[in-house]
Structure 1
Amino acid sequence: MGEFLIDLKVNKNYIWVYFIAFYTLWCIRELWLNLYLDSIDSVPGAVTSAIIKIIIWVIPVILLVIIMEKRNPFSYLGLLYNVKNGLKWIGWASLVLLFYSILNITLLKNSIDFQLELREWLNVVLLVGITEEIVFRGFLLRKLMDSFRFWIANAITALLFVSIHFPIWFYKGQFEFPYIFSSILTVFVLGIIFGFIYKKSKSLWSVIIIHSLYNLLVSLFY
């Protein structure tokens, strides 16, 4: 009985060990980006940055699910099922994002710049949705829901989601008061929405694509 309780405690707490290690590596990566930002815009730099992100974000999650959960990682993370239901949520979200785009063009008079750099296409649009959603909604939210009710688990996950943006805002010079509060609130609300969609659709692909579409629009408007 004692061994069972120890195993249960370890199984519940290993995600925090993972997150601390992951967050440390993520901060190191962002520091590296800050020091070598000019080289990241080149093709080798953009590809190297993408590979490092996959190594830090995706591979550890897959290994943890296999070793600790003893499950198929693609099934556990929600990548294999409910594709049709996920497409329905993608459709609704696309309509909202279309309205957001029209609002930006007409009322806010923002311009669109389709000339994004390779680094932005690869690391901001294509990979962000996949890597961040695998970690936060597919893995962390999924694990936290084993110990907490959904909305508590979703709020914790959203706060952790906010925390990974701190080093990005810091090295980009965007960590300034009072503007940082609006950034924190925006990311937190997005985290809550992504978690809600993941729970309702039961498909990680829905939030992956919606997340990537949102990042694309943010990158296009200036």
Structure 2
Amino acid sequence: MVDSKQKSYIIKALIPYLIAFYLFWAVYSIFIEPIIEKGPYLINLVGGNLIKLGAWTVPVLVLLKYLFKEDPWDYIKLRKNKLRGLVYGSLYGVVIIIYVTVSRLLTNGTLQFNPFFELDSWIGGVLLVGFTEEIVFRGFLLQKFEEAMGSKYANAVTALLFLLIHFPKWYVNGNLFIPGFMVNSIAFIFLFSILMAVLLKKTDSLLTCILIHSANNFAMFALGA
């Protein structure tokens, strides 16, 4: 049971982390990443992914270990219930691939499915994205907010934060002021985050969220999103 003093400590610790994290990622996405993408392919492939691991995953593990005095891998739920996480993650991963495929078919009337998209999208957008992003949002922030404010508000706050982290990239890609894109994307991402929170609670394994997130991105890239 977390008392009021501990709840206050959690919020006070999370606020500077969130400010630094969002500020860095906005600056990186808008000003630095486009330069890296125009450079040599190998630097883009390796450097971009290392920067994301360094900015997203490493700080969370450090904060959990040294600020919150937790075992990072136990806390983010990657050490136990691996089989349950694998089963649920695989099952719901297939479901979300089907959902994205049907949605695209209904929207466009046709399908162009290509699983052999670019290597950098495969590595950064599929294989690593579930690991980097789910550790931050469901493994760390969701659980810390639950300790501070309960599940109901924690789910909503985490979903909002997960939504906001996409805005810099949308701005760079020119999608931020396209009403149809924004309405669909905001609704999907917010509900996706809520689903991840529910499944994390049900399976007690972050592996579930990682697999589903990667499956979703695979479908997006394979369908040309």
SS at match of 1:147: helix
Equivalent residues, number: 218
1:146 aligned partner: 147
Paired position in structure 2 for 1:103 = 102
For 2:20, the equivalent position in structure 1 comes to 21
State the match for 2:167 in structure 1: 166
- Matches for 1:54-93 after TM superposition, within 5 Å: 54-93=53-92
Q: CA deviation at 1:118?
A: 2.1
**Per-residue deviation at 1:85?**
1.7
Is 1:186 matched with 2:185? no
- CA gap of 1:72–1:121, structure 2 versus 1, over 3 A, is same
Question: How far is the alpha carbon of 1:12 from its aligned partner?
Answer: 3.2
| Cα pair distance change 1:210/1:71, threshold 3 Å | same
| 5+ long unaligned stretches in structure 1 | none
Give the whole-Å Cα distance in 2 for the aligned partners of 1:102 and 1:185.
Answer: 17
Q: 1:122 is matched with which residue?
A: 123
1:45-98 deviation per Cα after TM superposition (whole angstroms, max 9, x unaligned): 111000000110011101100112211100011010111221231233034135
CA gap of 1:190–1:84, structure 2 versus 1, over 3 A, is same
Q: Match of 1:33?
A: 33
Counterpart of 1:71 in 2: which secondary structure?
coil
- Report the alpha carbon displacement of residue 17 of structure 1 after superposing the two structures with TM: 1.2
Tell me the amino acid that sits aligned with residue 118 of structure 2: E
Query: What residue ranges of structure 2 are gaps of 5+ in the alignment?
Result: none
Shift in alpha-carbon separation, 1:177–1:199, aligned structure 2, 3 A: same
Q: Cα offset for 1:148? A: 1.8
RMSD value over aligned CA atoms? 2.1
Runs of 4+ in structure 1 deviating by more than 4 angstroms, as ranges, are: 4-8, 104-107
**Deviation of 1:136 (Å):** 0.2
Shift of residue 7, structure 1, vs aligned partner: 6.8
Secondary structure of 1:109's aligned partner: coil
Three-state SS of the structure 2 residue aligned to 1:218 is helix
| Equivalent residues of 2:200, 2:209 under 8 A apart | yes
Identity %: 33
Contact 2:10/2:148 (CA < 8 Å) preserved in 1? no
How far off its partner does 1:150 sit?
1.0
**What one-letter code is carried by the residue in structure 2 that aligns with 1:46?**
L
**Which amino acid counterpart does residue 196 of structure 2 have in structure 1?**
F
